[in-house]
Amino acid sequence: MNLDAKTAKSELTRAAIVGAGLNLVATEGLEALTLQAVADRVGLSKSGVFSRVGSREALQKAVIEEFGRRFLADVFAPSMQKPRGVPRLDEIVRRWLARMSRPDPNDCCIYVPGAFELDDRDGALRDLLLQEVTRWRAALRRTVLQAIEAGHLRADTDAEQLVSEIYALAIGLLHDTRFLRDPAAPARALASWQRLLRSYQT
Amino acid sequence: MNLDAKTAKSELTRAAIVGAGLNLVATEGLEALTLQAVADRVGLSKSGVFSRVGSREALQKAVIEEFGRRFLADVFAPSMQKPRGVPRLDEIVRRWLARMSRPDPNDCCIYVPGAFELDDRDGALRDLLLQEVTRWRAALRRTVLQAIEAGHLRADTDAEQLVSEIYALAIGLLHDTRFLRDPAAPARALASWQRLLRSYQT
């Protein structure tokens, strides 16, 4: 095996470790993410996992960051092709709601269950999650501000208020889909969003 | 000690066990609730806890039911003194939001973090929590239906839709208060509620 092939194999192994970690977090929660638990899932020794990702903290960081990348790639990036303002905001929210409706437990979701898991627990893991969530809310707020600037939303729109309302809608949908397992939840959430958006439109 | 005093003492001990369990769940989650963990908190042996509440499952049931009693006593019961219809619905939602804003981790909250903790885990504990949450949503739906009957809300109001929207609002507030620790969150949630209510009023 030449050096390139070795590097490629090592990157694949690392990706498998992070993917297994993401799946573990999605089903068991952030605190369940340990080197040993991931090692068991990918069929490596604990030291084998350590040699590829480092400490438990580094593994947690890698998994949360990987989730953030997938989330942005799913929800945010494709919406950039829509015109600034309400078309883009609407696309983001619809994509987000679609993601929340999807029952795939492999990568849905970390931000919300993680927030309720860690809300009382100060520490590096909470800080990391908070940083990611804060960044996502900031991106959403910028999109809302652009829609106000474009004259699509009323000039007196409180961007922070609308961001919180959108966030609550998405969390509520996740709750109704994943916990209540109510098949009518996605349609209800979409109707709520249309109603909410209308109430801010000029 | 006569028999009455013995019974009173035994009930106090049981109440202390359930209270410690509630606190444990509020800070660590439902899965952290074990006979041993509660025994450590109240200074009893594990068998001492078992002799008073029974199995771990019985303890989980007792704690979830105690939370339900406190929640209803805080949010629902006092609202019954308001007239049927929007005055009562408004009182319930305001009391619920106030409870979600309160940072006391002793008995706030089990339904929401529990839902995200157990969403993927089938079993008796999930069933029990789902039953409690379903009962609470049914009480909320009845209150909404009364408000429609009273002519306070538009006749075409979809009660299930409004219940989901109120629920999402409350969950969002818990998220913003407990995880983001945003002091502006309660005022924002109240503004959202007023806006939401207005949009359904006749």
The secondary structure of A144-184 as a DSSP string is HHHHHHTTSB-TT--HHHHHHHHHHHHHHHHIIIIIS--TT
Could you give the residue ranges of the DSSP H alpha helices within chain B? 3-28, 35-42, 46-53, 56-71, 86-101, 111-118, 124-149, 159-174, 185-200
CATH class for domain A57-200? mainly alpha
- Say yes or no for a CB contact (<8 Å) between A179 and B118: yes
Tell me how far CA of residue A52 lies from CA of A90, A143, B29, B101, B110, in angstroms. 40, 38, 31, 43, 38
**Which residue of A lies nearest to B104 if distances are taken between CA atoms?**
A120
**Ranges of each domain in chain B:** 56-200
Instruction: Output the pLDDT for position A119.
Output: 85
Instruction: Output the pLDDT for position B6.
Output: 78
In the block, tokens 């002519």 appear at B151
Instruction: Output the pLDDT for position B102.
Output: 81
Among partner residues B26, B134, B171, which is closest to A168 by beta-carbon distance?
Answer: B171
Q: Which of A165, A181, A190, A200 to mutate to test the interface with B (most CBs of B within 10 A)?
A: A165
Could you give the residue ranges of the DSSP H alpha helices within chain A? 3-28, 35-42, 46-53, 56-71, 86-101, 111-118, 124-149, 159-174, 185-200
Average pLDDT over residues B33-57: 94
Instruction: Output the pLDDT for position B29.
Output: 85
Whether the bond into A108 is cis, omega within 30 of 0: no
pLDDT tops 90 at residue B182: yes
User: Nearest C-alpha of chain B: how many angstroms from A4?
Assistant: 40
**Cβ-based burial of A4 (10 A; exposed 0-12, middle 13-18, buried ≥19):** exposed
What's the mean pLDDT when you consider all of chain B? 92
pLDDT tops 70 at residue B131: yes
- Say yes or no for a CB contact (<8 Å) between B119 and A160: no
| Phi, psi for residue B159 in degrees, rounded to 5 | -60, -40
Instruction: Output the pLDDT for position B69.
Output: 92
User: Nearest C-alpha of chain A: how many angstroms from B100?
Assistant: 13
- For B72, the token pair is 């209803």
Chain B CB contacts of A188 below 8 Å:
160-161, 164
Among partner residues A167, A185, A188, which is closest to B172 by beta-carbon distance?
Answer: A167
- Say yes or no for a CB contact (<8 Å) between A120 and B105: yes
B104 or B118, higher pLDDT: B118
What is the tens place of the pLDDT at every residue in B49-91?
A: 999 999 999 999 999 999 999 999 999 999 999 999 999 999 9
Residues of chain A with pLDDT under 50: none
Q: What angle do CA A38, A41, A45 make, to 5 degrees?
A: 65
Separation CA B54–CA B52 (nearest Å): 6
pLDDT range class, residue B5, cuts 50, 70, 90: confident
What is the tens place of the pLDDT at every residue in A88-122?
A: 999 999 999 999 988 666 667 889 989 988 888 89
pLDDT tops 90 at residue B40: yes
Among partner residues A116, A130, A172, which is closest to B164 by beta-carbon distance?
Answer: A172
Chain B CB contacts of A32 below 8 Å:
none
Chain B CB contacts of A178 below 8 Å:
115-116, 119-120
**Which residue of B lies nearest to A185 if distances are taken between CA atoms?**
B164
Architecture of domain B56-200: Orthogonal Bundle (1.10)
User: Nearest C-alpha of chain A: how many angstroms from B72?
Assistant: 20
pTM of the model: 0.91
Instruction: Output the pLDDT for position A1.
Output: 59
In a 3-state reduction of DSSP, which class is residue A119?
A: coil
Instruction: Output the pLDDT for position A103.
Output: 61
**Cβ-based burial of B49 (10 A; exposed 0-12, middle 13-18, buried ≥19):** buried
Among partner residues B116, B191, B195, which is closest to A113 by beta-carbon distance?
Answer: B116
**Which residue(s) pair with B201 in the sheet?**
B153
What is the tens place of the pLDDT at every residue in B147-162?
A: 999 999 999 999 999 9
Pick from B73-87, B114-128, B129-143, B182-196: least confident: B114-128
**Which residue of B lies nearest to A191 if distances are taken between CA atoms?**
B161
Instruction: Output the pLDDT for position A36.
Output: 96
Instruction: Output the pLDDT for position A5.
Output: 81
A22 or B2, higher pLDDT: A22
Q: Which of B100, B107, B120 to mutate to test the interface with A (most CBs of A within 10 A)?
A: B120
Tell me how far CA of residue B58 lies from CA of B18, B50, B62, B112, in angstroms. 11, 9, 6, 21
Tell me how far CA of residue B67 lies from CA of B23, B32, B72, B143, B196, in angstroms. 10, 16, 9, 21, 28
